Amino acid sequence: MKDSQNLSISPPIVFGLFLAMSALFARVALAAAGLPSAATHWQFWLLAVAPPLAGAAGLYAYRRDQSARQRERRSRTGCCQGCGYDLRATPSQCPECGTIPT
């Protein structure tokens, strides 16, 4: 499989990005409310962190389900698991990407 076709981002990176964005949002929300940013206000942190994390988890689950369905569809129709090339003419190896079907 070509590396340029696989553009998915790993879950820890997505989690880190959303956590950083949430922290920034929480700091802005605390400042807008007139509260000191060093204060411990778990309600603001919960409101700032929970929605992005839930969205990231939902997006990750959707992508996993989508790729599992794609793999199942490709194996059912006799296509290469890596690139989707039709393997009816060459069942031993994919001429497009070189993957050996299992």
Q: Give the helix/strand (H/E) hosting 81.
A: none
Task: Report which residue type is found at 89.
Answer: A
Instruction: Tell me if the pTM is above 0.85.
Output: no
The percentage of residues in the chain with a pLDDT greater than 90, rounded to a whole number, is 0
* pLDDT recorded at residue 40: 58
60-95 pLDDT, tens digit each:
888 888 888 888 888 888 888 888 888 888 888 899
**By CB neighbour count within 10 A (0-12 exposed, 13-18 middle, 19+ buried), where does 29 fall?**
middle
pLDDT band at 15 (very low <50, low <70, confident <90, very high): confident
Average pLDDT, the chain: 77
